[in-house]
Amino acid sequence: MSLRSLACVGLLHVVLCSAGLAQSVPKLDQILPRIQQHVKEFESSLPDFICDEKITSRELMAGRVTHETDIDSIFRGTQNKDKTPDGKYQPFTEWRDIQTIDGRPAPKGQQLTGPFLFGGGFSSILVEIFSAENSRYFNYKVIGPDKVDEKPSLLIKFETKKDQQALLHRELFGSQYVMKGSGKAWIDPASMNVRRLEIQYLDPPMPEGVLTLTVDYAPVAIQEKTFWMPRTVAAQQTVPNPKVPVGGEYIAEYSNYQEFKVAVRMKY
């Protein structure tokens, strides 16, 4: 067999393997319901928990850090058992007890502070994009196999529908606006949980800027059941003003997840 024939055989092998891989990729209607089921479990079945939270808030000027605040806190998530008048459960509630700011003890009742803050990255964004109730506001497309952090994943692209007006994005201090954006999600093919979520808001509060959010998830055992919990939440806001090229960066890291029990005493 000539070298040219060997090359053709090798090329044919690659083509056939690629075709087989493409055929093995599940379709959207096979993937999406399983993702939505995990999101529902996260939203309604997640036990009350506490974890360590480390926040880095930065102000950027022309790409340089001009101001930085470091915060250590105890983060707590609780499920509200009460129902709203329409028969639905109240949303999952997040609490934080700030322990230190820039290494110094924080006073009792200290509120979150820093040059750039972002809210909703821990739980809201996952529910907004992948809950069954909100799927009508999005277009999804399965791209195919990919890797994130060197781990095999399925890549899905998504975008808000152009005419959607019902889904709102809420800022940390209460302001809200119609959610418009596009992004990607990397799905663990074994469990169909979201491994990484990235979204770029097309119409952020500062319309001349760009707001992006990335959330990384990892499996955590709580009450002997596995939930995929946020490991890192990172948000960036850039304002491409040539005279004042300012921006902000918010990074929250989560670790040491534990079930929250009444016997656990928080430091105040």
Q: Which residue has the tokens 């499996």?
A: 219
In order of start, what are the domains of the chain with their CATH numbers? 28-259 (2.50.20)
Please give the backbone phi and psi of residue 26, each rounded to the nearest 5 degrees, phi first.
Answer: -65, 155
| Half-sphere exposure of residue 197: CA atoms within 13 angstroms, side-chain side | 29
Count helices and strands in the chain by DSSP H and E runs: 3, 13
Q: What is residue 7's predicted lDDT score, i.e. its pLDDT?
A: 35
- pTM of this prediction? 0.82
* Residues 6 or more apart whose Cβ sits within 8 Å of residue 132: 33, 36, 39, 40
Please give the backbone phi and psi of residue 259, each rounded to the nearest 5 degrees, phi first.
Answer: -65, 135
**How does 224-259 read in b/e, with b if 16+ C-beta sit within 10 Å?**
eeebbbbbbbbbbbbbeeeeeebbbbbbbbbeebee
Taking the chain, what is the end-to-end CA distance rounded to the nearest angstrom? 78
Q: Which pLDDT tens digits describe the chain residue by residue (268 residues)?
A: 343 333 333 433 333 333 344 457 789 999 999 999 999 988 888 899 999 999 999 998 877 899 999 999 999 998 776 655 555 555 678 889 999 999 999 999 999 999 998 888 888 899 999 999 999 999 999 999 999 999 999 999 999 999 888 887 766 556 677 888 999 999 999 999 999 999 998 876 555 577 899 999 999 999 889 999 999 999 998 776 656 567 899 999 999 999 998 544 444 3
Q: What is residue 1's predicted lDDT score, i.e. its pLDDT?
A: 38
* Residues 6 or more apart whose Cβ sits within 8 Å of residue 55: 69, 70, 71, 72, 73, 112, 114, 250, 251, 252, 253
User: What 8-state DSSP symbol labels residue 89?
Assistant: B
Q: What is residue 11's predicted lDDT score, i.e. its pLDDT?
A: 37
Please give the backbone phi and psi of residue 46, each rounded to the nearest 5 degrees, phi first.
Answer: -65, 125
Q: What is residue 167's predicted lDDT score, i.e. its pLDDT?
A: 84
Q: What is residue 264's predicted lDDT score, i.e. its pLDDT?
A: 42
Q: What is residue 3's predicted lDDT score, i.e. its pLDDT?
A: 34
